[in-house]
Amino acid sequence: MELKLSAREYAAIGQTYEQKMQSMVDMGYDAIELTGRPDLLEVVGEIADASRNTGCAVSTICSGGRGALMAAERDARDLAVADLKMFLTAAAELGANGVIYAPLIAVKMNPDQYTRLPDMSPWKSVEQAEMELLAELGRDIAEHAAGLGVCVLWEPLNRYEQWWFNRLENGAALCDLVDSDGCKIMADLFHMSIEEDNIAAALRQWGPQYVRHVHLADSNRATPGHGSTDFAAAFAALEEIGFDGYMAMECSTRGDKAEDLTRAAQLLRSLA
C-alpha cells in the first residue's frame, strides 16, 4: 500500500506555514493537517504558496471552530455550522480531502459554556435527539461540502471525550441518514483501540463505504512504536479495502520532536 502520511499542524516545526510545511517534508511526511482558525480563508493564499514551494500537500483541516454543533443553544450551533462551511470552502481551495469534526466533544468538554440536549423520554432519549439533530444539520453541511468536491469527516471519539458517537458504526449510521457524498467518517486508531472490538475488523467492515481519512496514534496516544497498537494489521485491512487516502499523525512525541516524528514515519512506511 502506498502510504500517504500527514501530521497535525501542531507537530510541525516553525512559525510560518512555509516553515511548518518544510519541516513536515524534512521529517518524511507528504502533507500537513491544518488546524482551523476563524480567519482561515484570509490566509489560504499564503498556505497555497507554502504548499507549492515545499511540495507539502494539505491533507485535511481539523476543525478548531467556534461554537458547538450539538449544543442546546441555537447561537452556538449556528456559529459551528458557519465555521464548518468556511473550513470546507478553504479545504476545497487548498485541494484537501475535507474537514474533520467530532460532534459532541465541544459540549462535553465545556459544560460551563454549552448545554447538552435534554432527556425527552419517553418521546426521545438524549442520544436519539442528538442523532436526529446531527443528521439534520449534517445534511446542510454535507450539501455544502459535496458542492465543493470535499467531505465533512465525522470523527468517533472514545467515551471519555464524548458521551457517544464512539465507534465507526455510529459514523456509518449518520452517513446513511445524511445520504450524501459530502458526508464520510474518519477512523482514529487511538480511539478505536479503546472502543472497537478489533481495529482491523472494524476497518474492513465500515471502511470501504464510509472511511475517507485516518488518524494515527499508538494505544497510549504517543507516536507509533511506543504502545501496543498493531499498525501492520490495520494497514493490511486498509490495503485490502483499497483505502488510498491520507493518514495523519495526531499524537504526542517522546524526546526530540523531529527525531521521534522522523522515526515514526520510517517505522510506518516499513509496515505498510
Which CATH number covers residue 206?
A: 3.20.20.150
| DSSP E strand boundaries for 39-182 | 57-62, 98-101, 151-154
1: pLDDT confidence band, cut at 50, 70 and 90? confident
Instruction: Classify residue 121 as exposed, middle or buried by CB count within 10 Å of its CB (0-12, 13-18, 19+).
Output: exposed
- Hey, what's the cell of 74? 441555537
Mean per-residue pLDDT, 50-66: 95
120, 236 Cβ separation under 8 angstroms: no
Residues 6 or more apart in contact with residue 148 via CB below 8 angstroms: 88, 89, 91, 92, 182
Mean pLDDT for the stretch of residues 134-157: 98
The Cα–Cα gap between 144 and 166 comes to: 25
- Residue range of the domain that includes 265: 4-271
Q: How many Cβ atoms are within 10 Å of 75's Cβ, its own excluded?
A: 9
Distance, in Å, from the CA atom of 128 to the CA atom of 144, rounded to the nearest integer, reads 25
Considering its fold, how many domains does the chain have in total? 1
pLDDT exceeds 80 at position 45? yes
Number of neighbours of residue 237 by Cβ within 10 angstroms: 19
Cα radius of gyration rounded to whole Å, the chain: 18
Whether residue 182 is predicted with pLDDT greater than 80 in this model: the reply is: yes
- Maximum Cα interatomic distance, the chain, rounded to a whole number of Å: 58
Q: Judge whether 84 and 54 are in contact, CB under 8 Å.
A: no
Which pLDDT belongs to residue 156?
98
What type of residue is 222?
A
The residues, any chain, with a CB within 8 Å of residue 231's CB and separated by 6 or more, are 189, 216, 224, 267, 268, 271
> What residue type is assigned to position 138 of the chain?
G
Question: Confidence class of residue 66 from pLDDT cuts 50, 70 and 90?
Answer: very high
pLDDT of residue 65: 77
* DSSP assignment string, 173-188: HHHHHH--TTEEEEEE
List, for residues 201-253, the tens digit of each pLDDT value.
999 999 999 999 999 999 999 999 999 999 999 999 999 999 999 999 999 99
For the full predicted model, state whether its pTM sits above 0.75. Answer: yes
Q: Is the pLDDT of residue 64 over 80?
A: no
